[in-house]
Amino acid sequence: MKICIYNLTTGVSFGGVEIFSLRLAETLSRLGEDVYIFTGRPSTFLSNEATLHSGKVQGKGLRVKTYHYLPPHYIPDLGTRFKKLVSRLSFAVFCFKDLCKEKFDIIHIQKPYDLLPALLVKVITGAKVILGSHGTDFYFGDRVFAKKVDGVFSCSFFNAKEIWERYRRKARVIYNGCDIDLFKPMGPDRGLKEKIKIGDSPVIFTAGRLVNWKRVDILISAIPFLKTQNFKVIICGEGDHKSGLLSLSKALGVEDRIIWLGAIPHEELPRYLSLASVFVQPSISESFGISICEAMAMGIPVVASRSGGVPEVVEDGVNGFLVTPGDIKKVAESIDILLADSNMRRTMGKEGRAKIELMFTWNSVAERVMEGYKEVLRR
């Protein structure tokens, strides 16, 4: 089967969608499929057509094709979604000829913004088009295009409901995955502890883009309510909201509690996560939550907002705690409970790892994706 995993940002930024598209492509390739990644160029993450996210692409039959595009900051500001749509359409202009020439059996897009070019290729070559949904990137006119795709994959039952309400299309639910060989239980990296000077303090860890819906401000605002006195908070990530978060930490007088790591290469993240006693994800809008899965895979208990698809990953009281989105005091209370009870942390950590091994490996993701592809081709 000849497959195109089509997503502009796989090679130019970093997040859940980018991890999904790259790891899916690698795994399908290792399973013997003929897989191409079509993505943007250039970026600090993509130095050539064989390197993504500072690491070698794994997969004998995997080809990476990169193309120019118009970056969003060059596009008139008529809204974020308008800028994304125009940027992705510019990418399609550069890669359209090759997209047709390769004559793919499957073109698997990750955003509704790419519906139009994918469907044009379908008309020309007969390729089947799969819309992968990781959120609600809806825009005016997308309902018309969504009717024409051959299949819809969704990252959670929560997101599948959103897809049904928007498009009246039934989505096949295929959870995102986690690299359980990279993210696995391990002792804290002693050298790293010395390097960032945390001593033996318990660590509250969060990772992700510092953007509005991730609501890292909730974690920072919870710090003054913590009963535990000896702790550090590690924040891993970059984004537009960092300056505001720094100002908040100073206003609350907790800046000395926080270590700002900035962006960390994905392959290096387990070393830093090994320092964590508790992982906190206070996001108010999360269709799935790959960073939560990675923490659970390492045996770290989670405190997360009961939002979106997160309850499909975190079981309250089993592998972590779920809190009402925005409830600062409940976040602090849940962290205190975990920091005060090492046996609870250990038990919840084991439960979390077991769930990831059972449900969220990339091999199981790829197998479910292949079932979906085959069903579409049979139809």
Residue 314, pLDDT score? 95
Residue 200 within a domain:
yes
Sign of CA dihedral 166, 4, 263, 319: positive
Q: Return all residues near 82 (Cβ < 8 A) that are at least 6 apart.
A: 75, 76, 139
Ranges of the chain with pLDDT below 70? 42-61
The whole-number pLDDT of residue 52 equals 46
183 is a domain residue: no
Q: Three-state DSSP class for 234?
A: strand
Both 94 and 125 in one domain: the answer is yes
Side-chain-side CA neighbours of residue 248 (13 Å) = 16
Q: Would you say 207 and 237 are in contact if contact means Cβ atoms under 8 Å apart?
A: yes
Q: Give per-residue burial for 241-258: e unless 16+ CB within 10 Å, then b.
A: bbeebbebbeeeebeebb
Q: The tokens 């990750």 sit on which residue?
A: 110
Residue holding tokens 């000395």?
256
pLDDT tens-digit series, residues 202-246: 999 999 888 888 999 999 999 999 998 889 999 999 988 999 999
Q: Is residue 182 part of a domain?
A: no
Degrees to nearest 5, angle at CA 207 with 183 and 354: 35
Does 268 fall in a domain?
A: yes
- Calculate what percentage of the chain has a pLDDT beyond 70: 95
Q: What per-residue confidence (pLDDT) applies to 364?
A: 93
DSSP secondary-structure letter at 170?
A: P
* 125 and 222 assigned to the same domain: no
CATH number at residue 129: 3.40.50.2000
Residues 244 and 304 in one domain: yes
Q: Judge whether 249 lies within some domain.
A: yes
Q: Which domain holds residue 81?
A: 2-177+361-378
Asked whether the beta carbons of 57 and 51 are under 8 A apart, the reply is yes
On the 0-12 / 13-18 / 19+ scale of CB atoms within 10 A, 35 is: buried
For residue 288, give every residue at least 6 positions away whose Cβ sits within 8 Å of its Cβ, in sequence order, or none: 16, 134, 155, 156, 159, 175, 176, 308, 309, 310, 312, 313
Q: Which of 359, 340, 358, 338 is CA-nearest to residue 349?
A: 338
Shared domain check, 250 and 165: no
Kindly state whether residues 208 and 321 are assigned to the same domain: yes
> Which residue type sits at 146?
A
DSSP state of 171: P
- Quick check: is 185 in a domain? no
Q: For Cα atoms 129, 17, 318, give the angle at the middle one, nearest 5 degrees.
A: 120
Whether residues 136 and 241 share a domain: the answer is: no
270 & 369 share domain: no
How many residues in total does the chain contain? 379
DSSP 228: -
How many other C-beta atoms can be found within 10 angstroms of the C-beta atom of residue 133? 26
Q: Give the phi and the psi of residue 272 in degrees, each rounded to 5.
A: -75, -40
pLDDT at site 11: 87
Domains identified in the chain, total number: 2
Statement to judge: residues 134 and 242 lie in one domain: no
Indicate whether 253 and 297 sit together in one domain. yes
Provide the pLDDT for residue 42.
Answer: 58
Same domain, 148 and 257: no
**Whole-number pLDDT of residue 48:** 37
Do residues 31 and 135 both lie within one domain?
yes
Closest to 111 measured CA to CA, from 132, 89, 142: 132
> b vs e for 92-127, b when ≥16 Cβ sit within 10 Å of the residue's Cβ?
bebbeeebeebebbbbbbbbbbbbbbbbebbeeeeb
Same domain, residue pair 323 and 295: yes
pLDDT reported for residue 49: 38
